[in-house]
Amino acid sequence: MNSMNGKSIAIILSLLVMPLVNINAAQAQPTKSNEDESKVPSYTLPDPLTTSAGAKVTSGNAWRDKRRPEIVKLFETHVYGRSPGRPPRMTFEVTSLDKKALGGKATRKEVSVYFTGKKEGPKMDMLIYVPNGASKPAPVFLGLNFDGNHAVHSDPGIKLATLWTRPAKEKPLVSSRAPEESRGKSASRWAVEKMIERGYGLATIYYGDIEPDFFPEGYNVGVRSVMDAPSGSSKSVGDEWGAIGAWAWGLSRAMDYFETDNTIDSKHVTVMGHSRLGKTALWAGARDERFAMVISNDSGEGGAALSRRWFGETVERINTSFPHWFCGNYKKYNTDVNALPVDQHMLIALIAPRPAYVASAQEDLWADPRGEFLSAKHAEPVYSLLGKDGLGVDEMPSANHPVGKTIGYHIRTGKHDVTDYDWEQYLNFADKHFKHAKLQ
């Protein structure tokens, strides 16, 4: 009896000192959401500089040749799914051109990208502004938008977008032209004039052109219905790409076009996104190294925020609310997130040595601002290995005090949104890294 008591005591003591991440997954990752920092359990992050075989990565060559491709594959397999490459028959068509847009300050161009080369097939329409008066091709900010290209500015020359809707659950998706009164409805999120004044262009695409959102069956009318199509299911299964993978794929197709346009500096394109499109921008920038800079604005779970932190939105909640965003395998980690072989600091690390910027909002607790900061912080070792400074700070800054070197970060006052303050920081960051961007 006494020996049994001693053994029991030893087991109890071992459990007390064991990190919470190693205890039963249901205890380690509660299913309910949490916005109390004191309730965040302990966790252990996977090391971006240790291979799956346990080997330590100690050189830039080892990172580029072995570990980086391995991490990309892990995200493809477990989070975002596999995406195809450039379609061999894809074509571009300039559908409108105005060299005196915005009072003569910019050239406005609209370009249709036909993914299969057929006008009746899936396509996306891109709105581009580049500053007039520049002596060289313009660096460009590229971002998807939520409400159609016509919504980013009140410019009457922008074509009204065709938007996808579903009148009722029992009815199929339908498309219709946006009403005239919706022109410029999202202009507060796009500092178009400010970009032009600073010597930058803007390119934007309605994300619904690539795949409609808010309903899993959007798969049936988006690019996933014709590009590397899986078994015909409307939901992502296994490692087949989800909607975020599709939207990110569309951003790379925009880059394909930029490489053909001599008014755009395709070597200095910044991909930027807000919320779910911030997740998309990070994945696009991680996969496609042609993007020179990557910006995440309030991207949260599945974006910049650490998944292992039980704070705000969780893996289970996002997979339940938006089952079409990620690959099917991601759902295996709904209640066992500690079993994920990756976390989001590794997504930011994939951007290295290129500049990356992560932004949060003080009232946007659902996106876990501290988790976004920590993700940027824990990507630093990879930047350091590649000879770049990361954030350069150890503590999360106070509101409206941007920090960072090759990795930038700020948390601003306010809610889940994109504001002029955010854009001012992104332009300053681009100025710092793209010195050639200023008008001559």
Buried b (16+ CB within 10 A) or exposed e, 225-263: bebeebeeeeebeebbbbbbbbbbbbbbbbbbbbeebeb
C-alpha distances in angstroms, 195 versus 21, 199, 201, 268, 439?
45, 6, 6, 14, 11
DSSP for residue 32: S
End-to-end CA distance of the chain: 87
Closest residue by Cα to residue 220 from 264, 167, 166: 166
C-alpha distances in angstroms, 103 versus 107, 131, 193, 196, 366?
10, 11, 10, 12, 40
Closest residue by Cα to residue 159 from 142, 180, 176: 180
Residue 414, phi then psi, degrees to nearest 5: 110, -170
Helix (H) or strand (E) holding 287: helix 276-287
Residue 78 known to be catalytic:
no
The first and second tokens of residue 345, run together, are 């600091």
Gap between the Cα atoms of 87 and 433, Å rounded: 32
Asked if 306 and 83 count as a contact pair (C-beta separation under 8 A), the reply is no
Residue 83 known to be catalytic:
no
Catalytic residue among 83, 252, 275, 296: 275
Catalytic residue among 33, 182, 384, 416: 416
Q: Name the burial class of residue 361, with classes exposed (0-12), middle (13-18) and buried (19+) by CB atoms within 10 angstroms of its CB.
A: buried
Beta bridge partners of residue 410, listed in sequence order: 359
Catalytic (active-site) positions: 275, 416
